[in-house]
């Protein structure tokens, strides 16, 4: 399929005020969505947003475009992305839209789209939408214009759903938890859920003002949470990102646990309970330590391209349920159709309660291997000869590392770079291997640039 103009690996994203994150484009996008949905019936679309100040502007623009196409918009206000996926399918909407740029700063915003079943759009539907965006905009008859409604019970519906994912009642009485809400979508729901389950909750970054989302807080800036967990003598810390689909946790010693370690905890417990369906899907960036730890437990493991939509594709292809990314996108199809930080968090804490183990003890079976990465700039387009040369280099250097190491060469999706990464047991060796490989990659690229 040809490269799409607007859609990336997770919807449409950009700086507000610049194409495509402008109100005129959002009107056109809303209208284009209407063209795809309208098949002889009046369609209903759910719209949520995170706490960015630009959400007001983009929400009203989308609403206008949908109305022009004769589509009714249902607005829920600030809410986590996975809640939009859940509500879209549980309330039988024709589509769901989330306005968010996830972990990016407030100047950015984006559009994430879900089909009626709560899954992100596939490539074919994104391509159809792009074609519709370029069509001249028309309007339905005035009597057929779309209306806008407010969904007042959206948060309570989603909160109840999160609690229902627990296989049995869980009391978190006696647990002290620090929650970093990233001044984002989970600023209200995150603390409330854990308080309702009985925990003693201490909150951070839970006063969004439209501008402070992800600002030195949340899953991409967990240093403050690590310090606070120690200062409060808490049992653990939880960090969300701006739209509530990423989760990072901190144990009682202040040590950070990323998505790979949390995936290990969830997978091992599911296997012990007899509820693990098949195996686990990670990505090309997943730490080799997870793959080795799962192998010791005879749990199958597959890698997908980077991006939670590709994790989902692999899960569906193998009829598995559990997968995720190092960044904290954790997906279990038994719970949700997309990565859900809030559900993953209560599942991990429920395991702590059930096993009477600390977060550190639950994760000790996985040893993260050191990784080192160097970005090599490329001045030429990738072609068959370069790709073959890169593949040969991977084979050559993997032979040097053996079974306890891994090499990854990955073109950046946003910059003219080749990401050169190695991982293994010894950091000194890994650094040396990465530096040598980066030089060979650079030489390969320079050779082809002058041909």
Residues marked active site are found at 102
Angle between helices 123-133 and 23-37 (to 10 degrees): 120
Structure tokens at 214: 């992800």
> What is the enclosing helix (H) or strand (E) of 406?
strand 406-411
How far is Cα 324 from Cα 250, in angstroms, rounded to an integer?
18
Give a three-class secondary structure readout of 252-267.
Answer: CCCCEECHHHHHHHHH
Do residues 414 and 14 touch, judged by C-beta distance below 8 A? no
Do residues 252 and 275 touch, judged by C-beta distance below 8 A? no
Q: Taken in order 356, 360, 365, 366, is the CA torsion positive or negative?
A: positive
Other C-beta atoms closer than 10 Å to the C-beta of 124 total: 9
DSSP state of 118: S
Do residues 268 and 209 touch, judged by C-beta distance below 8 A? no
How far is Cα 310 from Cα 299, in angstroms, rounded to an integer?
20
Beta strands in 130-272 (DSSP E): 148-150, 176-180, 200-204, 236-240, 247-250, 256-257
Do residues 330 and 247 touch, judged by C-beta distance below 8 A? yes
Q: Classify 76 as helix, strand or coil.
A: strand
List of residues 6+ apart from 179 with CB closer than 8 A? 190, 191, 194, 201, 202, 203, 204, 206, 237, 238, 239, 240
- Tell which residue, 88, 113, 124, 115, has the closest CA to residue 29: 113
């Amino acid at each position: 399929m040809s490269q799409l103009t607007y859609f990336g690996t997770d919807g449409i994203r950009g700086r507000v005020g610049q194409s495509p994150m402008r109100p005129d484009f959002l009107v056109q996008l809303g209208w284009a969505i209407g063209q795809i949905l309208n098949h002889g019936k009046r369609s209903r679309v759910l719209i949520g947003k995170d706490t960015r100040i630009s959400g007001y502007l983009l929400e009203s623009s989308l609403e206008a475009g949908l109305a022009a196409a004769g589509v009714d918009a249902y607005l829920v206000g600030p809410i986590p992305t996975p809640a939009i996926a859940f509500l879209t399918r549980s309330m039988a909407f024709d589509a769901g839209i989330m306005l968010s740029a996830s972990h990016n700063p407030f100047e950015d915003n984006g559009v994430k789209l879900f089909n009626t079943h709560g899954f992100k759009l596939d490539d074919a539907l994104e391509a159809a939408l792009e074609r519709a965006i370029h069509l001249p905009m028309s309007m339905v008859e005035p009597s057929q214009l779309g209306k806008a409604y407010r969904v007042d019970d959206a948060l309570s519906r989603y909160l109840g759903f999160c609690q229902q994912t627990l296989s049995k009642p869980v009391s978190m009485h006696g647990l002290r938890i620090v929650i970093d809400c990233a001044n984002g979508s989970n600023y209200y729901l995150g603390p409330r859920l854990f308080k309702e389950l009985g925990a003693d909750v201490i909150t951070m970054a839970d006063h969004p003002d439209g501008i402070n989302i992800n600002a030195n807080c949340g899953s991409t800036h967990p240093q403050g949470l690590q310090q606070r967990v120690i200062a409060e003598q808490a049992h653990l810390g939880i960090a969300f990102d701006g739209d509530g689909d990423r989760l990072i946790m901190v144990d009682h010693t202040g040590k950070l646990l990323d998505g790979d370690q949390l995936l290990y905890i969830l997978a091992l417990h599911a296997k012990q309970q007899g509820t693990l369906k098949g195996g686990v899907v990670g990505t090309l960036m997943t730490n080799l330590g997870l793959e080795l730890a799962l192998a010791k437990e005879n749990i199958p493991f597959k890698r997908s391209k980077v991006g939670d939509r590709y994790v989902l594709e692999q899960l569906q292809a193998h009829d598995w349920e559990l997968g995720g990314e190092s960044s904290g996108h954790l997906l279990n199809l038994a719970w949700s159709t997309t990565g859900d930080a809030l559900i993953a968090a209560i599942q991990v804490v429920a395991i702590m309660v059930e096993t009477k183990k600390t977060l550190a003890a639950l994760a000790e079976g996985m040893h993260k291997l050191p990784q080192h990465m160097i970005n090599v700039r490329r001045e030429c387009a990738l072609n068959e000869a370069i790709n073959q040369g890169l593949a040969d280099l991977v084979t050559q250097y993997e032979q040097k590392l053996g079974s306890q190491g891994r090499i990854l060469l990955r073109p950046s999706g946003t910059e003219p770079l080749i990401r050169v990464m190695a991982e293994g047991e010894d950091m000194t060796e890994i650094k040396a291997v990465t530096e040598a490989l980066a030089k060979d990659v650079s030489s390969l690229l320079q050779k082809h640039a002058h041909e």
